[in-house]
Amino acid sequence: MHPQVVTRLFFMLIVVCLPTVGRAQTITISGSVLDSATYQPLPYVAVQIKRKAVGVSTTERGVFVIAGQKGDTLIFTRLGYKPFLFVAQQPNDRLRVILAEDTRLLKDVTVYGDYDIKGIDDWKKSLPANTQVKVKKQTLEPQPNEVATFGPGITIGFGGKDKTKNKRDELGRTETYRKTIADPETKKYLVELFNLTEEQYNKKLERFNEDNPEAFYLTSREDIMTMLVQFFAMKE
């Protein structure tokens, strides 16, 4: 074969192969997002791929499915919760993301002093001469659930009532349950007792949380363990 023909074929092969060089592997990540306090599924959590216009939301049962590339960083966000980042290294259909609530509140700010609005009296110039103008003074206060932007002695409330009180009360009532579930000894005991894999244990625990919400409020570790053992012993 003529050398020029060989050269042309060689360069054609390079051009054909170039689009595939460096192409990242496409993978699918799916799983569920749970609340760290109650282990209940979290709906409407935004799942976004960092630096890409790709994103989905979790369903009402806290489930999501998203396609990306190996090495992508997934960002899980929901109002009132701390963001969670996960680097995708391989396909995963059992990812469990636990979001912790962000209970930070902005403190109220009180503004003191007078504020003169420039040009506020200009309208008086167009009135007939000797017109008597009576200005009614009233206290400037923000409406309920609104934010005041100026005025003497106005309190600007960013948080209003303590919206975290109910959540903190919930955390207090579920403390025993959360500590029991988070204890590595609990997991070790159930895994060894029923000869479970990591995946089987996580799946069973999710089902238990969905089917037994009353267990969250038990104050006895023994009662919680009894319910767990009875549930784990049942065949699916």
Q: Which of 78, 99, 120 is the last residue of a domain?
A: 99
| 206: containing domain | 174-233
Q: What is the pLDDT of residues 87-97, one digit of tens each?
A: 999 999 889 99
Residue 134 maps to a domain: yes
Q: What percent of the chain has pLDDT over 90?
A: 24
Contact between 99 and 45 (Cβ < 8 Å): yes
Q: What is the pLDDT of residues 51-71, one digit of tens each?
A: 888 899 999 999 999 999 999
- Residues 111 and 71 grouped into a single domain: no
Task: Tokens for 206, please give them.
Answer: 């999710």
What is the pLDDT of the chain when averaged over all its residues? 75
- Residues 154 and 133 grouped into a single domain: yes
Residue 80 maps to a domain: yes
Residue 74 maps to a domain: yes
- Residues 80 and 30 grouped into a single domain: yes
| Distance (Å, whole) CA 226 – CA 42 | 27
| Distance (Å, whole) CA 83 – CA 161 | 24
Mean pLDDT lowest among 29-38, 85-94, 162-171, 192-201: 162-171
Per-residue burial over 21-51, b = 16 or more CB atoms within 10 Å of its CB, e = otherwise: eeeeeebebbbbbbbebbbebbeebebbbee
Averaged pLDDT, 29-33: 95
| Distance (Å, whole) CA 178 – CA 75 | 25
pLDDT of residue 156 exceeding 70, the answer is no
Residue 8 maps to a domain: no
Residue 15 maps to a domain: no
Residue 18 maps to a domain: no
Q: Which of 99, 124, 146 is the last residue of a domain?
A: 99
- Residues 28 and 53 grouped into a single domain: yes
- Residues 119 and 75 grouped into a single domain: no
Mean pLDDT lowest among 98-112, 129-143, 186-200: 129-143
Residue 1 maps to a domain: no
13: closest CA among 22, 5, 1?
A: 5
Task: Output 32 or 37, whichever has higher pLDDT.
Answer: 32
- Residues 91 and 136 grouped into a single domain: no
Total structural domains in the chain?
Answer: 3
Q: What is the pLDDT of residues 189-208, one digit of tens each?
A: 999 888 999 888 888 888 88
Work out the pLDDT band at 140, boundaries 50, 70, 90: very low
Task: Output 131 or 175, whichever has higher pLDDT.
Answer: 175
- Residues 216 and 197 grouped into a single domain: yes
Residue 211 maps to a domain: yes
| Distance (Å, whole) CA 174 – CA 152 | 44
pLDDT of residue 47: 93
- Residues 36 and 95 grouped into a single domain: yes
- Residues 111 and 139 grouped into a single domain: yes
CA of residue 234 relative to chain centroid, distance: 33
> What secondary structure letter does DSSP report for 142?
P
